[in-house]
Amino acid sequence: MKGAILNNRYKLNEVIGIGGMAKVYDAYDMVLERSVAVKVLKGEYSESEDFLSKFKTEATSAASLSDENIVAIYDVGSETINDDIVEYIVMEKIDGITLKDLIDENAPLSDEKIVFYGRQIALALQAAHRKGVVHRDIKPANIMINHDDKIKVTDFGIARVSSKATITYTSSVLGTVHYISPEQVKGLAIDNRSDLYSLGVVLYEMATGDVPFDAETPVSIAIKHIQDEPLLVTELNSEVNPNIANIINKLLKKEAVERYQSAAELIRDLDNYQNIDFVTANKETQKFNGKKIAPKGVPVSYETKEKPVNQTPDTGDKKLSKAFNYGFFSVLAILGVVLIYFLLSSLATSNQDEDMVVVPNLVDYSEDNALSRLKELGLEPAYDERIHDSAIQKGYVIEQSIDPQTQVKKGTEVRLTISKGPEMVVVPRLTSFDLEVAKELISKEGLSDGEVTYENNEKKAGIVISQFPEAYSSVNTGAKINLVVSSGPKIEKVEVPKVIGQLQSAALESLRARNLIPGNIRLEYSSEPENVIIKQSIEAGSQVDKQTAVDLVVSRGEDNKVNVPSLVGTDQENAVSTLRNLGLIADVSSEYSDKPVNEVLSQSIESGNSVDKGSAISLVVSKGPEPQPEPEPVDPPVDPQPTPEQKKFVFNIQAPEGSESFNIKIYNASDRELLHDRTYTTAELDNSVAVVEITANEDTQFKILIDDKVADINYE
């Protein structure tokens, strides 16, 4: 079937599940362009016209169910492929695991998980039961858990049809036989309480890791459902909350009238399980030990020696037939005993007062149906207050003043409490608020967070631009509010050009032409020529938003660095020679000191530092001790000599290409006097030109160093 297309729409992919009746395929809806799951019935079930008719009817009925805890059914149909009729159901695809997987790996589950999952399953059953749909095959394998920890109940419809057929006790139905109700085993009429029994088995397995009844053959398991009592949950798991154990025990009652009468009743107890005050049961009925218990006063022998049905194909049918026949006659015997019991009970009560009637269970009945039922029985309906209830819809019975199954006289007043439905709240306006603020408002009003989606919008990112339900509408308390949030204006993507190998100026132009911003520019020595781009931060060909910054690394050419030696203490001649041998320039000045003449007193760059070849190293050498001044002779007065005329010199110095900052030193070439020493940044300059003004004698000659390199600069 893989690759087949059903209804020119659903393309089947891999098989993702196999059950007793069908295979489930991962599929793709080519019309709505979404993933779906397609359940295809096995061939043997497609041969019965009666079965097909019921299957289609029930599948269509299941498709009418709409609840967040029920897998949605999208389509039902049939297709002829290779002369074979293929019956299929298209449903919501759930990405997750089954509850069976979770139980096998983690059971026993915590109290919180039992209640959390149990409540969701009960909500799904409540939605189905109100539509008149009974699942009939509730089991962990039919319950999915998605990645958000939400329960999704599957197989509505198919389960209802399959339960109409005679139960075949083979190994293929072991999974179902563990969960069927006593009335299903007996072939009696089945209603919503049968689903609640099956849910009780599921909760029992969640709490203990085991099913309540197990045996070597399906027949034996089925009989246990009728006549055995399970071990108490607390005997298998002492850590489970006793009230949760009591809830499970009530769900597993043999008689449907002793169980919860509706999913709504169960939901209320699960919501309030920590505060329930269960009536303490009689010790004799409380301590079950897994032994078979016959009806009171009826001696029945249950000693059977059933053989396993897990045999080879050649002999399995014969042994299975024996096991089935034995189980079949056992069930007939039990049914006979039950029939005699009820006949005797009927005779014993035939003389009772004909004015007595049994009060029915009216919880979760509509108000009209409850009134009609009471009047049919000759009882007097009356009302208590109407109250809000989150589990019972508006106009349905929440409570009744007389417990179900109580025998009373006709004419007795039965007071009903009717639901006003969930309490309504007004949805606040959330648009134009920041998402976090909107969530606070949702919580403050007793509502819950729904789906948050993002769209490009002129509003800044993070602002709510629409909501559903709309502002000021009335919704149930706890309703989910879906939000659409701005992800900011849509930004056009551009392709990053390749600038490696280009000169810096050309690379900057290329980036700006693509609406990209030159980012940080860093210099590194490399084998590439100076000012050539050797690295870019974003790979060429990448798609990025406009105005994205691209960082660049520019080559400084070959590494011509040398380490400055230690020259202090050496004589001037050796120091100058050492610097020249390293490719450095000695800039010598002198001063008086107590050191010998020509001994180096200091150097402008400390030893160990790395500098470029051609850099100038300033040395200060000793002139020896300062001479003592002699008495000045008294000379005859002479005419003063004129001082040399001074003028202002202007230097226009261009910043080195690609540099973010650079240093300028200007010396008087004749006496090595430092006239100017400053570091400039290109950001502070106009057109990358530093203008330096120096006032000096008009015959002064200047020596100019840029980054400690001699530069030939014209000046005015």
List Cβ neighbours of 417 (8 Å cut-off, separation of 6 or more). 383, 384, 385, 386, 387, 397, 398, 399, 400
**Helix (H, G, I), strand (E, B), or coil: what is residue 576?**
helix
Radius of gyration of the chain (CA): 47
Residues 665-712: pLDDT tens digits?
A: 999 888 888 889 999 988 888 888 999 999 888 888 889 999 888 888
**Domain 101-109+164-321 top-level CATH class:** mainly alpha
- What does the alpha-carbon distance between residue 656 and residue 361 come to, in Å, rounded to a whole number? 96
For the chain, give every residue range classified as CATH 3.30.200.20.
Answer: 5-92
List Cβ neighbours of 9 (8 Å cut-off, separation of 6 or more). 29, 30, 31
Residues 511-560: pLDDT tens digits?
A: 999 999 999 999 998 889 999 999 999 999 999 988 899 999 999 888 78
Q: 86 or 317: whose pLDDT is higher?
A: 86
For the chain, give every residue range classified as CATH 2.60.40.
Answer: 643-716
The CATH fold of domain 356-418: Trypsin Inhibitor V; Chain A (3.30.10)
CB distance 185 to 219 below 8 Å: no
CATH 3.30.470.10 applies to domain 5-92: no
Average pLDDT of 101-116?
Answer: 96
For the chain, give every residue range classified as CATH 1.10.510.10.
Answer: 101-109+164-321
Residue 682 has what DSSP assignment? G
**Domain 427-486 top-level CATH class:** alpha beta
Residue 557 has what DSSP assignment? -
Query: Nearest CA to 431 among 462, 475, 474?
Result: 462
Query: Nearest CA to 390 among 448, 449, 450?
Result: 448
Please tell me whether the overall predicted TM-score, pTM, comes out greater than 0.85 for this model.
Answer: no
- Which CATH number is associated with domain 493-555? 3.30.10.20
The pLDDT assigned to 157 comes to 55
For the chain, give every residue range classified as CATH 3.30.10.20.
Answer: 356-418, 427-486, 493-555
- What does the alpha-carbon distance between residue 316 and residue 308 come to, in Å, rounded to a whole number? 9
Q: 18 or 302: whose pLDDT is higher?
A: 18
CB distance 362 to 373 below 8 Å: yes
List Cβ neighbours of 166 (8 Å cut-off, separation of 6 or more). none
- What does the alpha-carbon distance between residue 243 and residue 583 come to, in Å, rounded to a whole number? 92
- What does the alpha-carbon distance between residue 468 and residue 429 come to, in Å, rounded to a whole number? 10
Residues 546-600: pLDDT tens digits?
A: 889 999 999 988 878 899 999 999 999 999 999 999 989 999 999 999 999 999 9
- What does the alpha-carbon distance between residue 312 and residue 319 come to, in Å, rounded to a whole number? 10
**Mean of pLDDT over the chain:** 83
CB distance 539 to 496 below 8 Å: yes
> Would you state the structure tokens that stand for residue 617, as one six-digit string?
């190293």
Give domain 643-716's CATH number out of 1.20.144, 3.30.160, 3.30.70, 2.60.40: 2.60.40
Q: 75 or 422: whose pLDDT is higher?
A: 75
Report the catalytic residues: 137
